[in-house]
Amino acid sequence: MDLHYGLASVHNAGGTWDETLTFDRQEGRAEIWLRDLTPGTEYRFQLIAYEGDAVYPSSIGSFSTASPTARAFSFAVYGHTASFPDRHKLVADTIALDETAPAFAAHIGELVDSLTPDRIANYLWAIGDLARAMPYLTVVGSDEANQTPYYETFALPQGGGVSGEEWWSLDYGIVHIVGLDSSLVDPGQMRTQEQLAWLRQNLASADSAYTIVLASDGLYGSAYPNGRNEPLADLLEPIFRSRGVDLVLSAGIGGYEHIYAAGMHHITTGGGGGPLAPAPEARVPGLVFSRYGLLHYVRITVAGDALQVEAIPVASIIDDEVYLTPSARPIDTLVVRATAN
């Protein structure tokens, strides 16, 4: 088995590769680390599998390495994909074709109904083109936190908890991104306290223009009584406020909700292909905008002193039928200005 990779400029010009890594026959999934890459650079890669005289090349993929000083880029966030792989693929393929060429994509919960081999295979099929087009991140939901197949399937930044990947953070340009396990809400549980201690230290040491938190469950939304997830908000909100978190994204309901509360924007983006929720009967306090019955994702664009968040529609679901949205015009837009931490 060979892994070819190299500078996109070199491959685009002559179809050649800078580097080739050769491995023995591999059963199942593997994690390969590419080192000594140049920051702020676009790369291409291709995996070649051999079986006897047969050669099986994968499609050519791409990724761009982050530059510590990057001040202009975009990335995509979505979630709630369980149950309908075909709808998930529609959303994932739309992200892969986004005109802004996102630097990476992040899935924020409700990946599959259960982590069985068949459902994981369906999930990987759905994100195939997206994951070849850009780096792909996930955060754990309540069903994945202690499941070995989750950590064997996804390569994630280092942080803490199970496999050192249950919660994590990364810096991409001038943005600090934190992924949390939102199922840890019992203050008497050791792992809850471990995550809180890690989070305080992580945010205290962050030196970035913007801080964004990703979690499967949100602090606010119509999924919770009176619009507030009391156990989680009581634990995390004081830390977020004291450390200048700008934006919290979750997938706690199959819909889109934008709530402004406690000095922060809270976005629920649960339109990744899973079952969609009906509109709630009561309006949630702090609600700025909402939309239900819609497959969608969120595009975040960083441009120096402004961070723009847009909800991008993909398709409406009416009587279980999929109707593609004729325009990718955002249904909701907000702008966050950079503030000193």
Residues 290 and 321 in one domain: yes
Residues 244 and 275 in one domain: yes
- Domain boundary (64, 81, 102) is at 64
Average pLDDT on 7-23 reads 92
User: What percent of the chain has pLDDT above 90?
Assistant: 84
Which stretch of DSSP H or E encloses residue 93? helix 85-96
- The tokens describing 185, both together, are 């809400």
Residues 331 and 271 in one domain: yes
Q: Above 80 in pLDDT, residue 51?
A: yes
Q: How confident is the model at residue 232 (pLDDT cuts 50, 70, 90)?
A: very high
CATH number at residue 7: 2.60.40
Cα 78 from chain centre: 6
Average pLDDT on 251-260 reads 95
Residues 76 and 33 in one domain: no
Average pLDDT on 258-266 reads 96
* The pLDDT of residue 340: 54
Q: Position 278: which residue type?
A: P
Average pLDDT on 147-174 reads 94
> What average pLDDT does the chain have?
93
* The pLDDT of residue 66: 87
- The tokens describing 225, both together, are 């009584």
Q: Above 60 in pLDDT, residue 130?
A: yes
pTM: 0.94
- Domain boundary (27, 46, 64) is at 64
Q: Above 70 in pLDDT, residue 13?
A: yes
Residues 114 and 203 in one domain: yes
Lowest mean pLDDT across 20-24, 130-134, 154-158, 263-267? 20-24
- Domain boundary (20, 35, 64) is at 64
The pLDDT tens digits of the residues spanning 72-98 come to 999 999 999 988 999 999 999 999 999
CA neighbor of 26 nearest in space, from 54, 59, 49: 49
Average pLDDT on 119-147 reads 93
Residues 205 and 103 in one domain: yes
Residues 44 and 108 in one domain: no
The pLDDT tens digits of the residues spanning 303-321 come to 988 999 999 999 999 999 9
| CB-based contact 65:43 (threshold 8 Å) | yes
CATH number at residue 145: 3.60.21.10
What is the CB neighbour count within 10 angstroms for residue 68? 11
| The 3-state secondary structure of 46-62, one letter per residue | EEEEEECCEEEECCCEE
Residues 37 and 169 in one domain: no
Q: Position 92: which residue type?
A: A
Residues 259 and 125 in one domain: yes
The pLDDT tens digits of the residues spanning 26-43 come to 777 788 889 899 999 999
Residues 251 and 269 in one domain: yes
* The pLDDT of residue 118: 95
C-alpha triplet 145, 146, 152: angle, nearest 5°: 90
Residue 280: domain span: 72-337
The pLDDT tens digits of the residues spanning 169-178 come to 999 999 999 9
* The pLDDT of residue 145: 82
Residues 26 and 102 in one domain: no
Angle 117-126/85-96 helices, nearest 10 degrees? 30
| CB-based contact 212:176 (threshold 8 Å) | yes
The pLDDT tens digits of the residues spanning 176-225 come to 999 999 999 999 999 999 999 999 999 999 999 999 999 999 999 999 99
Residues 227 and 176 in one domain: yes
Number of domain units in the chain: 2
Q: Above 70 in pLDDT, residue 341?
A: no
* The pLDDT of residue 215: 97
